[in-house]
Amino acid sequence: MPYIVYTKRADGDYARVVESERDGKTVKQKYICSLGRVVDRTAGIFKNRKNGIFHYDIENGFTKVSSDYELPEVLKHPSNTVETEKLILDFGSSFILNEYLKRQNFYEAFLKVIPEETDTLMSCLFYRIQNSGRASLYIEDWYQGNYVRELFPKAKLSSQRLSEFMVRLGEESVQRRFFRYYLEALYGETGGRGILIDSTGVPNATKMEVTQLSNHNGEINVETRLIYAVDRNTGMPVYFRHVAGNIIDVTTLSTTLAELEQYKIKIDCAIVDAGYYCEDNIEELYEGEVHFISRLAPNRKLYKQVVS
């Protein structure tokens, strides 16, 4: 059950709401929300920038201060009360984006991926789409003055909460869950799909095992290879995976098709680059009844025969 924790500082007492949770043999405090500065501990009166002066208790949550409550003299001066704008909001862009996303068949994937923190996720998504060049440290200020605050009122966007959320969002289990819902939403149990398969180098100076010396089309790099499949009709990304930089494209096609099949994506047509062309890959495409188009390298006998 939640409870209030009080902390004494040089400028006064502060409070936050936490809940105890067990992690093995250890009991930890799970942060819920900050109440800000303690105005009257006995009466349960607190003050923070977001809500001004308010009453809070575990049973009823946030409520207005009773009209007959007498504020301490130090807080009666107008400069000591903080009022935030509640009605003036930047409306249009978030309203249009929300209406657009709700009509997309992959919208449910966002709602299911971290269901207990959907409001935080969607607020971050809206912020990133509308403010692609701005740092995340501005997100809380943006949220307070944007219609997103009404769409997703339970978002937790303070610096510490946002950092913790980003860690959870980066977990492999979350990413796998998202792509399962995403692919189901896009393709479901429909028939085969046409895809384009290609790879690109990602040069980097990290010391990971997947960063290796690469010779791709005569260009030497220290890199990781990123393989991707894109839906031929919609242009939507279907699948990404990385391999070591020294892995050549021709050896990766079989695994790419096999992993797509594990996600229940039936491929009936593929457009692949010349780097994937070899006898084994062509035989596998035929065996899988996958129609294909591939560019031929000019040094192959078949290329010369076709030209002739």
Q: Mean of the pLDDT values across residues 82-97?
A: 80
Confidence category of residue 114, pLDDT binned at 50, 70, 90: very high
Q: Mean of the pLDDT values across residues 193-214?
A: 91
Q: Mean of the pLDDT values across residues 114-143?
A: 91
Whether the per-residue pLDDT at 158 is higher than 50: the answer is: yes
Residue 222: what pLDDT? 95
Residue 81: what pLDDT? 47
pLDDT in tens, 284-304: 999 989 999 998 888 889 889
Whether the per-residue pLDDT at 73 is higher than 80: the answer is: no
Place of tokens 């809206």: 126
Coil, strand or helix at 128: helix
Mean pLDDT check: name the lowest of 132-146, 157-171, 187-201: 187-201
The better pLDDT of the pair 82, 256 is held by 256
pLDDT in tens, 22-66: 888 888 888 889 998 898 888 899 988 888 888 999 988 888 887
What Å distances lie between residue 36 and 66, 83, 228, CA to CA? 19, 14, 48
Q: Mean of the pLDDT values across residues 216-228?
A: 91
- Looking at residue 65, its amino acid is V
Rounded distance between C-alpha atoms, residue 121 and residue 164, angstroms:
12
Q: Which residues contact 15 (CB under 8 A, 6 or more apart)?
A: 4, 5, 6, 7, 34, 35, 36, 37, 38, 46
- Looking at residue 133, its amino acid is G
What is the 8-class DSSP label of residue 236?
Answer: -
Domains and CATH numbers, the chain: 2-76 (no CATH), 91-173 (no CATH), 192-307 (3.30.420.10)
Helix axis angle for 118-130 and 92-102, nearest 10°, is 120
The DSSP element (H or E) to which 301 belongs, if any, is helix 301-307
Confidence category of residue 79, pLDDT binned at 50, 70, 90: very low
